[in-house]
Amino acid sequence: MTGADLRPRVQFAVRRPAGSGRWWYERIIIACPDGGIALPMAYPPAPGDTIMLWSTGGKIPGGSLFTVVSRMWAHSGYGSADWPYGQADPASGPVLDIIVEPGGGAYADETDICAEPSCEAVIIDGAWWFPPGSDTPDEHDHRPYQHDPVTPS
């Protein structure tokens, strides 16, 4: 062991559709303890994970929730400047590029609930349905709860 920090050094980019099946990638600038551009992370998120991201410059358009869509690793080669011959470990961890898309989060596209505060009905397969153990409400016509409009920023 060399005592080196071998955590992956993570860089994030948001991808957005650019038409014709191509993408535009925006690198996310995140403050790092060493002043560099890659953040050492012991547990980098995997494809399919939902993550929160903030740029050092502020909120990212389409954020702050993103879904990881792809990862690319770059490991040091034995015998390279980062990992000289004769050393048991490289001097630093692999570089990991993580590509994300603006995403609705782990609970995205949740179904409607009834607007009546005492009613626990939800819409499942297009019909109102009561979860197991829910109270039987007074007779009323179920109607979907309307969330306050959220203004994207």
Chain residues in the site for Zn ion (CB under 5 A): 114, 116, 119, 121, 142
User: Which residue's CB is nearer to Zn ion, number 60 or number 122?
Assistant: 122
Task: Tell me which residue of 6, 61, 50, 5 sits closest to 28, measured CA to CA.
Answer: 61
Q: Distance between CA 114 and CA 123 in Å, rounded? A: 8
> According to the 3-state scheme, what is the secondary structure of 7-47?
CCEEEEEEEEEEECCEEEEEEECCCCCCCCCCEECCCCCCC
From residue 97, give the alpha-carbon distance in Å to each of 13, 41, 48, 139: 8, 12, 15, 55
User: Which residue's CB is nearer to Zn ion, number 58 or number 110?
Assistant: 110
- Min dist. Cβ of residue 30 to Zn ion (A): 45
- Min dist. Cβ of residue 92 to Zn ion (A): 58
User: Which residue's CB is nearer to Zn ion, number 1 or number 110?
Assistant: 110
User: Which residue's CB is nearer to Zn ion, number 97 or number 116?
Assistant: 116
Contact 65, 50 (CB under 8 A): yes
User: Which residue's CB is nearer to Zn ion, number 68 or number 114?
Assistant: 114
Task: Tell me which residue of 49, 13, 10 sits closest to 28, measured CA to CA.
Answer: 13
The one-letter amino acid code at 47 reads: P
- Min dist. Cβ of residue 130 to Zn ion (A): 9
- Min dist. Cβ of residue 146 to Zn ion (A): 14
- Min dist. Cβ of residue 128 to Zn ion (A): 7
